[in-house]
């Protein structure tokens, strides 16, 4: 799919897509310096930025306050693979590196656990951003929008681990999309 074909995404994901497209202009992806935070001030609590260093090192540079509320812990400084079930870590690491190096975007649907084993689907839009410094890793700028009911549920009070996403759709930003993975 193309960026302008996102269609039925949450409003929060659409806001990021619109801002990201404006920041990049005619480039494949924007640099961090191109980002204008005033364009996304309403959704900043739902934003994460991950440094894509290697298949085993995917570090949260930033995780907004609502991400902490939903996940039940602070993610800034942690490795994304810490919240991935062990049997899926290698595939998730390889997939995220593939997305960053292609580069392309992706929309995921994940079931997020809340207290009392209540699950809620969340839509996550991730788009690549170039570091301001040459030689630094590509970053994934993501936003999470909760689907369904509007009330906020009580977050888990411990680190939860995510299984594979329920759904994933690549977004061609001009460099193509990765081949389908088994």
pLDDT digits (tens, 9 = 90+) for 4-43: 787 657 899 999 999 999 999 999 999 999 999 999 999 9
Q: Is residue 182 part of a domain?
A: no
Within a domain: residue 176? Answer: no
For residue 110, give the nearest of 170, 168, 165, 70 by alpha carbon: 165
Structural domain range at position 129: 3-171
Q: Which CATH number fits the domain that encloses residue 122?
A: 3.30.450.20
The beta strands (E) that lie in the chain are given as 47-52, 58-63, 105-114, 118-129, 139-146, 167-171
| Residue 177 domain flag | no
pLDDT tens-digit readout, 86-140? 888 999 999 999 999 999 999 988 777 666 656 778 889 999 999 988 889 999 9
């Amino acid at each position: 799919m193309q960026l302008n074909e996102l269609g039925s995404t949450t409003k929060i994901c659409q806001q990021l897509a619109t801002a990201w497209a404006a920041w990049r202009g005619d480039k494949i992806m924007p640099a961090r310096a191109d980002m204008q935070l005033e364009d996304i001030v309403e959704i900043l609590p739902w934003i994460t930025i991950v440094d894509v260093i290697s298949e085993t090192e995917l570090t949260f540079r930033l995780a907004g306050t609502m991400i902490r509320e939903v996940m039940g812990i602070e993610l800034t400084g942690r490795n994304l693979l810490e919240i991935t079930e062990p049997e899926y870590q290698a595939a998730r690491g390889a997939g995220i590196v593939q997305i960053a190096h292609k580069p392309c975007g992706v929309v995921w649907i994940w079931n997020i656990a809340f207290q009392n084993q209540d699950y809620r689907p969340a839509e996550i839009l991730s788009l690549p951003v170039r570091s301001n410094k040459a030689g630094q890793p590509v970053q994934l700028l993501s936003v999470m929008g909760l689907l369904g009911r509007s009330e906020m549920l009580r977050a888990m009070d411990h680190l939860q681990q995510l299984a594979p996403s329920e759904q994933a759709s690549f977004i061609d930003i001009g460099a193509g999309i990765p081949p389908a993975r088994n």
